[in-house]
């Protein structure tokens, strides 16, 4: 049986929209048809609340279409012939009455073919607020490329403060509102680094305000949490402002080992003491041992459990390394999302070669038998439709719709415990072991 449920990987257009929507007081205007608006607006609003209410009657303007985010010029057939300038003026005049600190216009793929002078329209309608247009976000390119392109353009027009380094400060690069638990990831890293007397100034795209982003140049170091969504940005900031950056050797801080490596690497770069943060990680590791040893003594698991994984290369490397070395699990299939940064893909390949499971990168994730699948909700649903008897653990969007009221994170010591809890309960309830 053929299934039509496989994900369509988000492209540079989606990356650009979510980069700008991740700025607290920015307005992203979509110059395009309404069909390009609804998904992006819904995800932005569900991931990053700007209002306590979701009452559609609060957004009755024709270009909002009862959604609070990403007003659209709702282009139709005539606009592609005669231009979108008049509709864009109408949207800009309404948006200019609100208290935004940055206004951006992003062309949809079709609107990019019209050839309107967006900058001229913006210049005529917007006064006293930084603005820019993105004629093309890289529609055939990957999410990370479009994300970084939009973020670099946003920072270019924000007039960042003159470089004046403050010792013991960092920026976190690569966080994005399209990542599951992104807000708690941000808070977790702040807390861990705070224990080491390291202050986080900003994380562009993760909910900070325009004012906060203008102070990014004060940081002594940029920490590249996800290279797929931050390496080009880090290199740009180094070139323009002389900001050094480091890429995490062990990948994003998921699991005890990668979390410890994150702390040690950042502390070494800034000359700080990691002891307090390491105490927190080791306490969580000790707690995990009590539950893991009892679980293993009864069933011998999770050692030998098959897992499949779908994620960007940095996440795939970190989780595969942790699941194999810490829990003794076996990779069945590892599917990498498209991305501009090959470094972690190479590290993952080398690791799988070393443990004699290189075929995991070639095995189709939808057809390879497994006990656990760590992926986005849609991929988990696809495997269920294919008759896979496995447990799914959501680590990315799109979601199956579970509403996370209590704060959750995949990062740091609490993230490691949360993942372990999901894995142990998943194995315990998996039909594969019944």
Residue 354 lies in a domain: yes
Residue where a domain terminates, one of 252, 276, 300: 276
- Cα-Cα end-to-end distance for the chain: 26
Residue 5 lies in a domain: no
Co-location of 382 and 267 in the same domain: no
User: The tokens of 381 are what?
Assistant: 């649903």
Model confidence pLDDT, tens digit, residues 45-63: 999 987 766 666 667 677 8
Q: What confidence category does residue 429 fall into, taking pLDDT thresholds of 50, 70 and 90?
A: confident
Residue 144 has what pLDDT?
A: 95
Collapse the DSSP code of 47 into the 3-class scheme (helix H, G, I; strand E, B; otherwise coil) and give the result: helix
Question: Is the pLDDT higher at 292 or at 9?
Answer: 292
Co-location of 254 and 334 in the same domain: no
Co-location of 204 and 89 in the same domain: no
User: The tokens of 114 are what?
Assistant: 């019209």
| CATH number, residue 253 | 3.40.50.1980
Residue 193 lies in a domain: yes
How far apart are the C-alpha atoms of 281 and 141, rounded to whole Å? 38
Co-location of 292 and 272 in the same domain: no
Q: What confidence category does residue 139 fall into, taking pLDDT thresholds of 50, 70 and 90?
A: confident
Model confidence pLDDT, tens digit, residues 327-384: 999 999 999 998 878 999 999 999 999 999 999 999 999 999 999 999 999 999 999 8
The distance from CA 92 to its chain's CA centroid, rounded to whole angstroms, is 29
Q: What percent of the chain has pLDDT over 90?
A: 78
pLDDT at position 247 over 80 = yes
Co-location of 263 and 297 in the same domain: no
Structural domain count of the chain: 3
Residue where a domain terminates, one of 157, 187, 218: 157
Residue 56 lies in a domain: yes
Model confidence pLDDT, tens digit, residues 310-327: 999 999 999 999 999 999
Residue where a domain terminates, one of 157, 175, 191: 157
Bond prior to 302 in cis (omega within 30° of 0):
yes
Residue 123 has what pLDDT?
A: 95
Co-location of 323 and 360 in the same domain: yes
Co-location of 142 and 184 in the same domain: no
Residue 326 lies in a domain: yes
Co-location of 345 and 425 in the same domain: yes
Phi and psi at residue 114, in whole multiples of 5°?
-70, -45
Alpha-carbon dihedral 249, 255, 259, 262, rounded to 10 degrees: 10
For the segment 372-401, the average pLDDT, to the nearest whole number, is: 93
Residue 6 lies in a domain: no
Co-location of 268 and 307 in the same domain: no
Residue 6 has what pLDDT?
A: 65
Co-location of 170 and 46 in the same domain: no
CA distances from residue 16 to 106, 229, 270, 426 in whole angstroms, order as listed: 8, 11, 32, 35
How many residues are listed for the chain in this entry? 434
> Whole domain around residue 123: which residue ranges?
12-157
∠71-72-76 over CA atoms, to 5°?
Answer: 165
Residue 162 has what pLDDT?
A: 84
User: The tokens of 52 are what?
Assistant: 């306590």
The angle, 0 to 180 degrees and rounded to 10, between the axes of the packed helices 256-270 and 275-299 is 170
Residue 283 lies in a domain: no
Co-location of 297 and 383 in the same domain: yes
For the segment 191-211, the average pLDDT, to the nearest whole number, is: 98
- State pTM to two decimals: 0.95
Co-location of 424 and 301 in the same domain: yes
In which order are the strands placed within the sheet that holds 245-247? 199-202, 166-173, 219-224, 245-247
Residue 65 has what pLDDT?
A: 87
The angle, 0 to 180 degrees and rounded to 10, between the axes of the packed helices 143-157 and 231-241 is 30
- Output the furthest CA–CA distance in the chain (Å, rounded): 72
Q: Mean pLDDT of all residues in the chain?
A: 92
Residue 201 lies in a domain: yes
Q: Which residues contact 26 (CB under 8 A, 6 or more apart)?
A: 20, 100, 101, 102, 103, 104, 154, 210
């Amino acid at each position: 049986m053929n299934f039509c449920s496989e994900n369509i990987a988000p492209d540079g257009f989606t990356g650009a929209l979510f980069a700008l929507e991740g700025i607290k007081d920015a307005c992203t205007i979509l110059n395009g048809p309404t069909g390009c608006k609804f998904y992006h607006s819904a995800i932005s609003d569900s991931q990053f609340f700007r209002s306590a209410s979701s009452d559609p009657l609060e957004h009755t303007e024709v270009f909002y279409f009862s959604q609070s985010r990403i007003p659209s010029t709702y282009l139709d057939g005539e606009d592609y012939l005669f231009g979108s300038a008049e509709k864009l003026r109408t949207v800009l005049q309404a948006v200019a009455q609100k208290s935004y600190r940055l206004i951006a216009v992003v062309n949809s793929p079709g609107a990019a073919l019209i050839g309107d002078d967006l900058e001229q329209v913006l210049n005529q309608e917007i006064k006293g607020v930084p603005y820019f247009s993105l004629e093309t976000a890289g529609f055939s390119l990957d999410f990370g490329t479009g994300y970084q392109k939009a973020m670099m353009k946003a920072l270019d027009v924000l007039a960042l403060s003159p470089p004046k380094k403050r010792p013991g400060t960092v920026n976190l690069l690569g966080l994005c509102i399209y990542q599951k638990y992104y807000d708690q990831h941000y808070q977790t890293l702040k807390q861990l680094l705070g224990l080491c007397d390291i202050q986080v100034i900003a994380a562009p795209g993760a909910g900070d305000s325009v004012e906060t982003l203008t102070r990014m140049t004060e940081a002594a170091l940029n920490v590249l949490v996800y290279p797929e969504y931050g390496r080009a940005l880090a290199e740009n900031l180094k070139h323009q402002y002389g900001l050094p950056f480091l890429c995490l050797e062990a990948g994003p801080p998921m699991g005890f080992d990668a979390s410890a490596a994150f702390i040690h690497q950042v502390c070494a770069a800034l000359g700080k003491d990691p002891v307090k943060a390491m105490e927190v990680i080791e306490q969580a590791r000790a707690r995990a041992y009590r539950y893991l040893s009892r679980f293993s003594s009864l069933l011998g698991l999770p050692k030998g459990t098959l897992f499949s994984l779908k994620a960007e290369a940095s996440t795939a490397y970190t989780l595969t390394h942790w699941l194999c070395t810490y829990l003794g699990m076996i990779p069945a299939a590892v599917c990498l999302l498209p991305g501009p940064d090959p470094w972690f893909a190479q590290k993952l390949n080398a690791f799988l070669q070393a443990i004699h499971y290189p075929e995991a990168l070639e095995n189709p994730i939808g057809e390879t038998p497994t006990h656990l699948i760590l992926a986005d909700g849609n991929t988990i649903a696809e495997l269920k439709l294919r008759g896979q008897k496995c447990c799914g653990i959501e680590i990315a969007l799109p979601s199956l719709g579970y509403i996370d009221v209590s704060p959750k994170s995949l990062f740091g010591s609490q993230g490691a415990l949360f993942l372990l809890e999901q894995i142990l309960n998943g194995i315990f309830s998996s039909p594969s072991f019944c």
